[in-house]
Amino acid sequence: MTRLEGRTRSTGDHLVLALKGFCMGAADVVPGVSGGTMAFILGIYEELIGAIRSFDARFLRLLMSMRFREAAGHARWKFVGAVGAGILCAVFSLARLLSWLLHNHPVPVWAFFFGLIVASLFTVSRRIRRWRPRVPGGILLGAAGTYLLVGVVPMSTPDAPWFLFLSGAVAICAMILPGISGAFILVLLGKYLFVLEAVSHRDLVTLGLVAAGAAAGLIAFSRLLGWLFQRFHDATIAFLTGLMLGSLRKIWPWKETATPAGGDAGATAVPANVLPAQWTPEVALALVLALAGFLAVVALNRWAEVGAGPRSEPGHPFAPPARGDRERS
């Protein structure tokens, strides 16, 4: 068993972490939905960043000197392993199903995730401790950045090993950010379908290159996120909330394909958000699923709060400053 946040985790606790990882992996497979958002909903986001940061230079030095027991005690490998196993299980088991659903029934799928993200805005923003002037600015900055990003037209890119490594590194950074989907970044880089087919066909060479890049990007980027949480907690949460708000542009269920300005027949078509033209059974189903996604987040958040206990116990890597300390966010 592992001692984290002042308490001991049992085998059952790690199974729950694996289930939360499965939810993250299911979200990561869909372009436009972030596993980081799901981690926030489930109450493990900040702890996950802290756990990833524990695989640091000291951990590597202990491994290189063959002090394996000390290395295992330094790194929070049980937490990362449980969540990571859930993510991998979801990716390999759901990739083909979600690909089929997005191709054949896109509106109901996007509607469900739209409701999920809307509810997430409320649950994540509750983690802001003090609403100072920088907080609304952070939300607006994050929302504007994501809104513009999701409007970018996907590009054509090479399938060379170095670019697959780079794609993994960039996508994983987005994957752990609420509001920016790692799958969508792969779409922008022209590698989403390529990687999805590699998962379906168990192409271990391609998956290994992407995974190696993801590991490198995850270790580097988690340190930056950890530093931001420690020094600018509220401003960071506000910015992440804005990322989620801006991502709603991508997740809006009803779209039509618009020809880019200039009328170039060879240009890539850009999907534009529209309102449903008329009331149909599909529209009714989409609204029901959007409500189901909203209520699912409420239920997941309540489940996470009941099972997590206090979020600010001594020893938590991102515990809020003690009363009287200077607030820097």
Mean pLDDT of the chain: 78
Distance of CA 119 to the CA centre of its chain: 15
pLDDT in tens, 199-212: 778 888 988 999 89
Instruction: Answer yes or no: is pLDDT of 158 > 90.
Output: no
222 phi, psi to nearest 5 deg = -65, -30
Instruction: Answer yes or no: is pLDDT of 290 > 50.
Output: yes
Q: Quick check: is 143 in a domain? A: yes
What is the Cβ-side half-sphere exposure of residue 162, based on CA atoms within 13 angstroms?
0
Strand partners, 8: 3
Domain that includes residue 42, residue range: 9-254+269-308
Q: Write out the two tokens for 89.
A: 């299980």
Q: Quick check: is 321 in a domain? A: no
User: What's the domain count of the chain?
Assistant: 1
Instruction: Answer yes or no: is pLDDT of 186 > 60.
Output: yes
pLDDT in tens, 83-127: 989 988 988 888 778 778 878 888 888 898 888 888 878 877 777
- Range 207-213, long-range pairs (CB < 8 A, 24+ positions): 209/161, 209/164, 209/165, 209/168, 210/164, 210/165, 210/167, 210/168, 210/171, 211/168, 212/165, 212/168, 213/164, 213/165, 213/166, 213/167, 213/168, 213/169, 213/170, 213/172
Task: Please count the residues of the chain.
Answer: 329
Q: Quick check: is 323 in a domain? A: no
Distance of alpha carbon 27 from alpha carbon 20, whole angstroms: 11
Give percent above pLDDT 90 in the chain: 7
Are the CB atoms for 81 and 9 separated by under 8 Å? no
Per-residue exposure over 51-70, b if at least 16 CB sit within 10 Å of its own CB, e if not: bbbbbeeebeebbeeeeeee
Q: Quick check: is 326 in a domain? A: no
Confidence of residue 268 (pLDDT cuts 50, 70, 90): low
For the entire predicted model, the pTM comes to 0.65
Q: Quick check: is 224 in a domain? A: yes
Q: Quick check: is 75 in a domain? A: yes
- Helix (H) / strand (E) element for 270: namely strand 270-273
4 phi, psi to nearest 5 deg = -135, 140
The pairing of strands 7-9 and 2-4 is antiparallel
